[in-house]
């Protein structure tokens, strides 16, 4: 998957988890939790959904790498390059 495809996948997951949120103004460098009304359980739902949909392992110590769109893409791109 390329960066644009990963961004779209993350947006799809975010819209499922927070359907009332407006994702059109999502800033790439700002953590999701600072932009969206999300709690820690919502964040875990994002991680679990990524793991389930794409069958990738994300160790708990790497969860902070998924804080913003930019960091998520940077982290996932090497893991998802062959998908």
pLDDT digits (tens, 9 = 90+) for 30-48: 999 999 988 889 999 999 9
pLDDT at 82: 85
Rounded to two decimals, what is the model's pTM?
0.90
pLDDT digits (tens, 9 = 90+) for 48-81: 999 999 999 999 999 999 999 999 999 999 999 8
- When pLDDT is averaged across residues 11-22 and rounded to a whole number, the result is 93
Centre a 10 Å sphere on the Cβ of residue 66 and count the other Cβ atoms it contains: 21
List phi, psi (to 5°) of 59. -65, 150
pLDDT band at 2 (very low <50, low <70, confident <90, very high): very high
Query: What distance in Å separates the CA atoms of residue 18 and residue 23, rounded to the nearest whole number?
Result: 9
Beta carbons of 80 and 54 less than 8 angstroms apart: yes
CATH number of 3-79: 1.10.1200.10
């Amino acid at each position: 998957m390329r960066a644009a495809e990963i961004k779209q996948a993350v947006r799809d997951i975010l819209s499922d988890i927070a359907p009332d949120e407006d994702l059109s103004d999502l800033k790439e460098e700002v953590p999701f939790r600072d932009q969206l009304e999300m709690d820690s359980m919502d964040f875990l739902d994002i991680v679990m959904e990524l793991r389930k949909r794409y069958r990738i392992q994300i160790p708990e110590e790497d969860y902070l790498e998924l804080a913003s769109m930019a960091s998520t893409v940077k982290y996932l791109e090497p893991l998802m390059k062959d998908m």
